Amino acid sequence: MSRFSEPQDPAFQALNASLSFDQRLWPHDVAQSRAHATMLAAQGIISDADRDALLAGLDGVERELSGGTFPFAADDEDIHMAVERRLTEIAGPVGGKLHTARSRNDQVATDMALFCRTQAETLIAQVEQLMATLIAAAEQHVDWPMPGYTHLQRAQPVYLGHHLLAYVWIARARPASGCASPPRRPRTCRSARARLPA
């Protein structure tokens, strides 16, 4: 609840709001809200009935968001506020219990982690498709000679198939390491390896 009796100035609202770009996080916000409600009940913080009411309300919120019928309000500062407000409208006062033992910073950090993981999985799938295409092209040009280049100058002759496979190895090493979670990220030396296949 706001500490101020006067409404926010429109200029401040425009500066402070992030809904225009963070509403893309809604699938992750709904998912983590479901997990949080389940945890609250499992720990005995809320009743099973409250949990069920929250989950049913979140199902309604998800349907509206996915169907494009979600009623955003003028004072929805961000997607987290919008989801909580609408959940309370659907489920009633029990909607306020969802914020128990959870800060807005928790929500933001979790949403961003889930969003980045989803985007990384999409990127990795696209890179794997690119690698498959390069491998197919390399197999079709396995004995096509071409000049190799290093520092924009011609070097030893190579085969086009080998040249294409160099990009496969680059793609395999870099996106996979950049998208993996830090504990699983391999330590790679970003040198000129595989730049000029022999």
Q: Is residue 196 part of a domain?
A: no
Lowest mean per-residue pLDDT among 12-26, 99-113, 158-172: 12-26
> Does residue 183 have a pLDDT over 70?
no
Q: 114: closest CA among 177, 18, 27? A: 27
Q: For residue 46, is it within any domain?
A: yes
Asked whether residue 189 is assigned to any structural domain, the reply reads no
Are 130 and 163 in the same domain?
A: yes
- Does residue 2 sit within a domain? no
pLDDT digits (tens, 9 = 90+) for 164-175: 999 999 888 765
What domain count does the chain have? 2
pLDDT score at 149: 84
In-domain check, residue 42? yes
Q: Which domain holds residue 80?
A: 10-102
Distances (CA, A) of 111 to 19, 46, 158, 181: 14, 23, 47, 16
For residue 14, pLDDT beyond 60: yes
Tell me, yes or no, whether 133 and 166 share the same domain: yes
The answer to whether residues 66 and 30 touch, using CB atoms and an 8 Å cutoff, is: no
Residue range 181-198: average pLDDT? 46
Asked if residue 196 has pLDDT above 70, the reply is no
Q: Provide the strand spans (E) within 78-127.
A: none
Across the chain, what does the average pLDDT equal? Answer: 86
3-state SS class at 188: coil
Q: Is the pLDDT of residue 89 over 90?
A: yes
Instruction: Tell me how far apart the alpha carbons of residues 118 and 163 are, in angstroms, rounded to a whole number.
Output: 31
Q: What is the CATH number of the domain that holds 88?
A: 1.10.275.10
Residue 41's H or E segment, with its range, is helix 26-42
